[in-house]
Amino acid sequence: MGQLVEWPEVVTEGKDVEECRAMLEDALQEMIRAYRQQNKEIPTGRALLEQIPVEV
């Protein structure tokens, strides 16, 4: 499961980390397009936060 920090309402999941990252990248591009169409300020941020589950 992944979430965009700048847009917390964007949550997605994939079968593995790579697929989830790709889906988040796609969601990010869609959010940028939507914000530009609405003349909203695009949040800035350059942090990548990851939580990886650990099986015990």
Strand-pair partners of 5: none
What was the pLDDT predicted at 8? 82
Residue 56 has pLDDT above 80, yes or no: no
Give the residue numbers spanning the domain of 7. Answer: 1-56
Tokens of 28: 């990010």
CB 34 within 8 A of CB 43: no
What average pLDDT is seen over the chain?
Answer: 84
- Count structural domains, the chain: 1
- pTM given for the model: 0.71
Most confidently predicted of 6-10, 34-38, 47-51, 52-56: 34-38
For residue 1, the number of C-alpha atoms closer than 13 Å in the C-beta half-sphere is 5
Q: What is the mean pLDDT of residues 1-21?
A: 86
Residue 39 has pLDDT above 90, yes or no: yes
